[in-house]
Each structure stands twice: as C-alpha cells, then as structure tokens.
Amino acid sequence: DAGITQSPRHKVTETGTPVTLRCHQTENHRYMYWYRQDPGHGLRLIHYSYGVKDTDKGEVSDGYSVSRSKTEDFLLTLESATSSQTSVYFCAISDPPANYGYTFGSGTRLTVV
C-alpha cells in the first residue's frame, strides 16, 4: 500500500537465529502495529506502538520484541526464531482521532526451518 512498506517480503531462516522485520511509513501516523496471520487463526496482534519509544504488547507477544526509534520505522525482532513463528507478518498504521482506519502493508512471509 502507498505510504507503508515492509521488508523483506520473503525470508527463510534457521531455528535459533535472530530475525528483524522492518516496517516503514511515510504517512507520519502515530500508531503502528505488527500482526501475524496463520491459517485458522486470522490476524493476531503481536505488538503495537503509539509513538516514538512507546510500545505495548498485543495478544501473541511472547518471543517477539519491537522498537520504534523514529516515527517512520517500527521493527519486529524474533530473538531466537522457532518453527511456530513461521507465518505471514503484516504491519499496519493508523492515526486516531483523525483516522481510525488501519492501512496495512503487503506482508512479510517468514519461514523458519
């Protein structure tokens, strides 16, 4: 989607290695989110940020950490990847109260072998 990009788009990594996914936005939106999507579970929130250095946990945060040192970048780190973290990861942005709708990125497909 225009204004939000995720990198990499695809990644294969080995169990036990650290992995960092990047979300970059050019919309200057205050809120940023990381979701994962798995068959049978829909999208589930991992972490979100409501400002620079302000982050909070979502419903499936175990095994993940995040950082937001700039408004435009939100990083998701898997400290030690496991096979259960194989998933498609989506980043989203929103800017309440002006805009409560979420804009999602195109996703990162991560495979942990």
Q: Which residues bind other proteins (CB under 8 A)?
A: 1, 31, 33, 40, 42-45, 48, 50, 56, 58-59, 88, 90, 92, 96-97, 100-107
Provide the pairing of β-strand 87-95 with 73-78: unpaired
The least distance separating other proteins from the CB of residue 45, rounded to whole angstroms, comes to: 5
The least distance separating other proteins from the CB of residue 24, rounded to whole angstroms, comes to: 14
The least distance separating other proteins from the CB of residue 90, rounded to whole angstroms, comes to: 5
CA dist 33 → 45, 58, 94, 99, 109 (Å): 7, 9, 9, 15, 16
Element (H, E) at 7: strand 4-7
Is 66 or 105 the residue whose CB approaches other proteins more closely?
105
User: DSSP code of 77?
Assistant: E
Is 18 or 26 the residue whose CB approaches other proteins more closely?
26
Is 21 or 105 the residue whose CB approaches other proteins more closely?
105
Is 14 or 40 the residue whose CB approaches other proteins more closely?
40
Alpha-carbon torsion (42, 6, 68, 63), positive or negative: positive
